[in-house]
Amino acid sequence: MLFVWSYWKTIFTLPMNPSKEFHLSYSDKESLEREPRGESQQEVLRRAAKDLPIYTRTMSGAIRYCDRCHLVKPDRCHHCSVCDKCILKMDHHCPWVNNCVGFSNYKFFLLFLAYSLLYCLFIAATDLQYFIKFWTNGLPDTQAKFHIMFLFFAAAMFSVSLSSLFGYHCWLVSKNKSTLEVFRAPIFRHRTDKNGFSLGFSKNLRQVFGDEKKYWLLPVFSSLGDGCSFPTCLVNQDPEQASTPGGLNSTSKNENHLFPAKPLRDSQSHLLTDTPTWSETTAKAEKGKVGMSNPALTMENET
């Protein structure tokens, strides 16, 4: 029952698209079309993305913009050429379910793999004794012998392939990565960081399965967040983002987000030393606080 339910939810859950705030306004679209390609267009995009919770850039350091959907791409969002639309936290387009696997159905996809693997292992285990009898001539000479052999080989082969795929996606969850991010690491303003969205195993797991453990094994949506913004482990402040006195980023814009405003890793020792982009005011305010819990640290804000 859970196997079928997970498969059904994986197929028929529509992938989530970016919210309206990421779409360009009519005036911004006109400005973008009038301006020649290059820095002038980037200035229009920077102005449109000024108040958006985005931290990643293109390889050239530009704002990530989709010219087919006419929107500023949220972090971890990619345009699917098959669905012809931008998908939030896109992992891949799966031909087996004829759907994009992304933020809205990634948990269902994981459960589908898990229950499929358990189902195939159960079939192979229960059929093993008859498969052994087949080779030792312990079965009556009927057409059922072929069915037993085919069933065991099919279950065994699917078990091997599913265990590899499920193990790979478990590793992705533990590292808070998507399949696309493995092949191309996310690029933040100051550098490329393949582990930029990783917050530690426990937080990474909860980001996909939610805080309520009773829902983890059920194909019901319980992932954290809205799919448009994600916490990062980076602590460098983006000088382009507006900040409050003392170097603190205003948290009023993040009050509606389900994620904490400053989701740092448990161990911050190696991050605290990376301070070249802090303002002088912030550096002085933070002096003498090494080794203490520091609420003034902020995430790297990327526009």
Is 281 within the bounds of a domain?
no
State residue 276's pLDDT score. Answer: 39
Q: Any idea which residue has 């909860």 for tokens?
A: 206
Active-site residue set: 94
Q: Which two tokens stand for residue 96?
A: 């087996």
The residues near 212 (Cβ < 8 Å, ≥ 6 apart) are 222
Is 271 within the bounds of a domain?
no
Say if CB 229 and CB 75 are below 8 A apart: yes
How many domains are contained in the chain?
Answer: 1
Is 301 within the bounds of a domain?
no
Say if CB 289 and CB 247 are below 8 A apart: no
State residue 122's pLDDT score. Answer: 96
Under DSSP, the state recorded for 23 is: B
Which stretches of the chain are assigned E, i.e. beta strand? 56-57, 65-66, 71-72, 78-80, 85-87, 92-94, 99-101, 187-188
The sign one gets for the Cα dihedral 95, 87, 200, 60 is positive
Is 214 within the bounds of a domain?
yes
State residue 148's pLDDT score. Answer: 83
Map residue 79 onto helix, strand or coil.
strand
pTM, to two decimals: 0.75
Q: Which two tokens stand for residue 178?
A: 């998507």
Is 65 within the bounds of a domain?
no
Q: What's phi and psi for 32, nearest 5 deg?
A: -65, -35
Is 173 within the bounds of a domain?
yes
Is 132 within the bounds of a domain?
yes
State residue 294's pLDDT score. Answer: 36
Residues spanned by the domain of 204: 1-14+104-234
Which stretches of 74-232 are assigned E, i.e. beta strand? 78-80, 85-87, 92-94, 99-101, 187-188
CA distance 231 to 224: 11
* Run means of pLDDT, 10 residues per run, the chain, 303 residues: 91 93 90 81 89 92 92 96 95 94 97 96 91 76 78 94 97 96 91 91 96 95 94 60 37 37 36 36 40 34 35
Is 87 within the bounds of a domain?
no
